[in-house]
Amino acid sequence: MDFGLVLQTDPPADLLIERMVRAEGHGFTHGWTFDSAVLWQEPFVIHSRVLDRTERMVVGPMVTNPSTRSWEVTASTFATLNDMHGNRT
């Protein structure tokens, strides 16, 4: 069975990263964040750090807005993260 958690990318980013690492240690398989450039910090930068600090966790935005995120850039970001960290986005 898979379990996941959703966190807001409130500052400081290090706190979210530590929570994701701790969640993986407790058996969580997925770590999601919200995505709003207006309300919170940039999630994809934080996702890169989470992926670097975890081994198996699948990471990504739980909700994003396609009218504020270019789908081509988003797809390229996921492809780059998957190339760097395995298919975990």
Kindly report, residue by residue over 39-68, the tens digit of the pLDDT. Answer: 899 999 999 999 999 999 999 999 888 888
Residue 20 has pLDDT above 90, yes or no: yes
Q: What's the predicted TM-score (pTM) here?
A: 0.92
In the numeric block, which tokens belong to residue 48?
Answer: 């890169």
- The one-letter amino acid code at 70 reads S
CA 46, distance to chain mean position in Å, is 6
List Cβ neighbours of 28 (8 Å cut-off, separation of 6 or more): 3, 4, 5, 57
